[in-house]
Every structure is written in structure tokens, then in C-alpha cells.
Amino acid sequence: MRIATMFTTAAFAALFSVSAMAQTATPSTTTTTTPSATTAAPAATTTAKPKAMKPAQTAVSKACSTQADAKGLHGKARAKFRSDCKKNGGKA
């Protein structure tokens, strides 16, 4: 009975490890694009990138963090204060 259990366990382990390896993708090192597709690609990649914070938003966020530090806020109280502060444009 022990041998059958060990064999079954080994079979399941082998089955799952093979399926896990089959799902990993290998990166392609060759590209087959036409010149017209190459000119369209940079426009598509610029829209896919996440937007960076604007300098004004960053300044407001820093101002709210400074105010929260001055008040000694931590945890949920700090998060709520910063959220309200940013909604008001950096003014508590």
C-alpha cells in the first residue's frame, strides 16, 4: 500500500511540474516586422506606459505628507488625513 501511495504522489508531482514548465514562455529574440509596422509601434508603446504624476500633484502629495508628519499621524488616521488633504489641494 505504501509503494502505491508513493508512486501516485510521484506521478502527480511529475504531472504538475511538467505542466508548470510548459506554461512558461520563452522570450523571442527575433523580430519580423515590416517598416510600416515599426513606425506604428512607438506610438502604441507610449500610450501603454503608466502616466507619471504631474509636478503639481507631487507637490500637493509632499505637502500633505509633511503636514501629516507634523501632526504625528500614523496608520489609518494618516491615510485619511492625506486623502482629504489631497482632495483640498494640499490644504488641511
**Residue length of the chain:** 92
Instruction: Write out pLDDT tens, residues 19-45.
Output: 555 555 666 666 666 555 455 555 555
Instruction: Write out pLDDT tens, residues 48-75.
Output: 556 666 777 888 999 999 999 999 999 9
The Cα–Cα gap between 64 and 82 comes to 6
DSSP 71-86: HT--HHHHHHHHHHHH
pTM of the complete model: 0.42
Q: What is the mean pLDDT of residues 5-17?
A: 76
The predicted pLDDT at position 5 comes to: 86
For 27, phi then psi, to 5°, come to -70, 140
Span between the terminal Cα atoms of the chain, in Å: 71
The predicted pLDDT at position 78 comes to: 95
Where along the chain do its domains lie? 53-92
